[in-house]
Amino acid sequence: MNITARPIVVFDIDGTLTKTVEIHQRAFEAALRSFDFPKLRTDWGSYKHHSDSAIFREAWDESGFAGSLPLPLLEERFRTEFDTVSSNAAACGEVAGASQLLAQIERAGWIAAFATGSLRHGALKKMALLDHPYDVDLLVTASEHETREEIVQAAIDKARAKHGVLVGGRVISIGDGVWDLLTARALKLEFVGIGDAARAAQLARIDADVVVQPDLRGVGRLIGCHSVA
């Protein structure tokens, strides 16, 4: 394979690679509530940008709080809440086929990158649930950028820079959320959705042609990822 043309697969984490949506939301909401916002909206989909740092900024601005955004303080409180919640969560683990797909991508000479709306501490904890190793250099989180477009593009840029891949090559985004699909469309990326029938219907309302799989088993075959002989 021409190394300058290696495909890049960008993964969301929560609900895509790991079963951690619920514990993330519980920890994030608890961290936000520690700031005593007078009217905190917990319909996360109603915010302009779907990332922890962007939601924090919007809630901060709406509340009229003085001073600059104290993101380091949110990081600290989220770390505490996430560690507490995750230590009591027995159902956490990887989505079926996650480690197998990462191994398949590696064998094929493709590149796996990771883009999440979670703050970095949570992202690292979730990725530790996977049985297959990953390149932490290619993990981009809401601790570094606020918008999903910035996060995903940064992951792609890091993958290209580290592996000498030229701009214009194939990039596939894999995610479970509406925001993942919208971001992929905005950046003109291929997209594969992950989720149950209800999630598939939700994504289809945005794009009737979207392909959605119940989990990650079989996604390698779907995207044409074959091991190098």
Tens digits of per-residue pLDDT, 132-154?
Answer: 999 999 999 999 999 999 999 99
The pTM (predicted TM-score) of the whole model is: 0.94
Q: Which amino acid, one-letter code, is at 167? A: V
Judge whether residue 174 has pLDDT over 60: yes
Of 102, 103, 127, the residue nearest 115 (C-alpha): 127
**What number of CA atoms fall less than 13 Å from residue 19's CA on the CB side?**
13
**What number of CA atoms fall less than 13 Å from residue 74's CA on the CB side?**
25
Largest CA distance in the chain: 60
140 and 127 in contact (C-beta within 8 Å)?
no
pLDDT band at 52 (very low <50, low <70, confident <90, very high): very high
* Mean pLDDT on 172-193: 97
What DSSP state is assigned to residue 145?
Answer: -
Predicted local distance difference test score (pLDDT) of residue 228: 59
* Residue 33: count of CB within 10 angstroms of its CB: 13
In sequence order, what are the residues at sequence separation of 6 or more whose Cβ sits closer than 8 angstroms to the Cβ of residue 118?
A: 13, 14, 24, 51, 52, 126, 141, 142
180 and 193 in contact (C-beta within 8 Å)?
yes
How many residues are there in the chain?
229
Predicted local distance difference test score (pLDDT) of residue 4: 66
> Rounded CA gap, 9 and 202, in Å?
23
* Residue 40: count of CB within 10 angstroms of its CB: 14
> Rounded CA gap, 229 and 215, in Å?
26
Tens digits of per-residue pLDDT, 54-97?
Answer: 999 999 999 999 889 999 999 999 999 999 999 877 678 999 99
